[in-house]
Amino acid sequence: MRAAVRPVRNIITAFRHQTSSYSGAVIRRRSHLIGSNASSVYRLPGDAEIHRFLFPAIFVSKAFSTDTAAKVNISEVNRAGPLVEYERRIAAGELVDGDACQVGTLRELQRLYDEIVESADACRLDRYAVPEKTVRNQWFWSRLMPQSSYSPVKGLYLYGGVGTGKTMLMDLFFDQLPGNWRKKRIHFHDFMLNVHSRLQRHKGVADPLEVVAGEISDEAILLCLDEFMVTDVADALILNRLFRHLFSNGVILVATSNRAPDNLYEGGLQRDLFLPFIATLKERCVAHEIGSAVDYRKLTSAEQGFYFIGKDLSGILEQKFQQLIGEHVASPQVVEVVMGRTLQVPFGANGCAYFSFEELCDKPLGAADYFGLCKNFHTLALEGVPKFGLHNRTAAYRFVTLVDVMYENRSRLLCTAEGSPQELFENIVTVSDAQQMAPRTSSRSRRNDDSDLCVDNELGFAKDRTISRLTEMNSKEYLEQHAEERQLSQEVANADAVQA
């Protein structure tokens, strides 16, 4: 029986990796359009009107669009790498021809792939070619005989608008790399949580960041970070020293971000201390912009979403929640997050948790708490998401982080909100946007009685990503993939029960 369970687990692992960017991974040429259904309206007694938030029902590959077809020269795919896989999927009818911006990005990834393969030995990528004793004692000997070992290959920093396929393209690159290489693909939020956890373990060491960097580089020479975004001052202050150590240890960084390197942590506290990191990043990575203006997440269908617009809709949300938990009884629970911390769950059952917005986003919680929540519950019901502005800017930041974590973990969201995703953030603007609206609105001292406009560069950029992800998370395709993964997980659980 153990032998039968293992293949199922392997299938789930592969499935999860595939679905991490499913909306841009596979689409048949014959199924661009799945009808259209802009919205539907639910009516309750008392003339209460509820708008179920839906989107145009169009499903197009996130990475490749037929509107701006771009061909790849066959001479570019006579070798292994992401371009080879791209051409194979085109030939098999699994992908439509890509737009020029994304094919250009694929060429950059192919260039990096070729350089890394050619310098694999010099980069010490093969985990089995590095003696265990050398790896284990690397940090110890580096303290006695300090030396730098920069990689002969520069990394790649991909940046561009939301939904343009950055994650899918990076995953396509990552999947083509040999399995015996020291490589790691992780979301930036998760990466920084891991760094802080390691720092806690090495308290008292003269330079804990050097130790942490040594551990990370022992595990992975090629580090792929998704959604590189710096908003926390604690992260900003350690990134320069951390990555100086990592690069000195030979680490090659591949990252995706919505922000150009020079715009990272813009307007943040003590940003002058962060600027050396930007210089280091630009020195060790080639920056490449994905210029596509299309957000392919918004082109999914959303005929089965659970995003309800209106006030006093707790009854509807509770009804949907009850349908999902079935015969199970919801009760208060306590889940462990990180470093011994716990999170109170008001109601939880059958992998589903129910919270009010205030309980999750008006309390001092962060990414670590949300990651812990998603590890214990695959579905979250969130009641009463408000419109955001100057008066609740901190809650808006937490909501953005919550959506990021849920999206990364492929979680399902049920929620009631005061408006559509676009309407929730219409009072959040960047300094540049505010200056175009009216000169005086760009002042950070704008008073609350001036229409509650919140001028915040980081939040202003992050809102586009959140709107895009909320759109995709309520799409038919996303929810179907979630259901399939849950079914596979249940099969594993049943097999384990039989084995026991």
242-251, 329-338, 470-479: segment of lowest average pLDDT: 470-479
pLDDT category of residue 142 using cuts at 50, 70 and 90:
low
User: CA-CA distance, 34 to 67, in Å (whole number)?
Assistant: 17
Instruction: Say if residue 471's pLDDT is above 90.
Output: no
Please tell me the predicted confidence (pLDDT) of residue 452. 84
Q: What are the tokens at 258?
A: 């919505």
User: CA-CA distance, 498 to 500, in Å (whole number)?
Assistant: 5
Please tell me the predicted confidence (pLDDT) of residue 130. 54
User: CA-CA distance, 195 to 200, in Å (whole number)?
Assistant: 9
Please tell me the predicted confidence (pLDDT) of residue 98. 59
User: CA-CA distance, 155 to 320, in Å (whole number)?
Assistant: 46
Pick 390 or 168 by higher pLDDT.
Answer: 390
3-class DSSP state for residue 432?
Answer: helix
For 254, phi and psi rounded to 5 degrees? -120, 125
- 180-219 residue pLDDT tens: 999 999 989 889 989 999 999 998 899 999 999 999 999 9
Q: Are 20 and 167 in contact (CB under 8 A)?
A: yes
pLDDT mean over 220-244: 92
Q: Average pLDDT, whole number, for the chain?
A: 78
| Nearest CA-CA partner of 58 in 296, 400, 362 | 296
Find the helix packing angle between 393-408 and 457-473, rounded to 10°: 40
Locate tokens 């509807």: which residue?
316
Cα of 122 vs its chain's centroid, Å = 31
User: CA-CA distance, 459 to 396, in Å (whole number)?
Assistant: 8
Please tell me the predicted confidence (pLDDT) of residue 486. 83
Residues 6+ apart with CB under 8 A from 329: 349
Query: Is 82-129+147-289 a CATH 3.40.50.300 domain?
Result: yes
- 268-288 residue pLDDT tens: 888 999 999 999 999 999 999
Delimit the domains of the chain by residue range: 82-129+147-289, 304-435+451-499
pLDDT category of residue 89 using cuts at 50, 70 and 90:
confident
Bridge-partner residues for 158, per DSSP? 256, 288
| Nearest CA-CA partner of 357 in 379, 387, 333 | 387
3-class DSSP state for residue 343?
Answer: strand
Q: Are 38 and 56 in contact (CB under 8 A)?
A: yes
Instruction: Say if residue 47's pLDDT is above 70.
Output: no
User: CA-CA distance, 255 to 251, in Å (whole number)?
Assistant: 13
Locate tokens 């715009």: which residue?
263
> What is the value of pTM for the model shown?
0.59
- 95-116 residue pLDDT tens: 656 566 778 888 999 999 999 9
Instruction: Say if residue 175's pLDDT is above 80.
Output: yes
Q: What are the tokens at 159?
A: 């940046």
Cα of 118 vs its chain's centroid, Å = 30
Instruction: Say if residue 129's pLDDT is above 60.
Output: yes
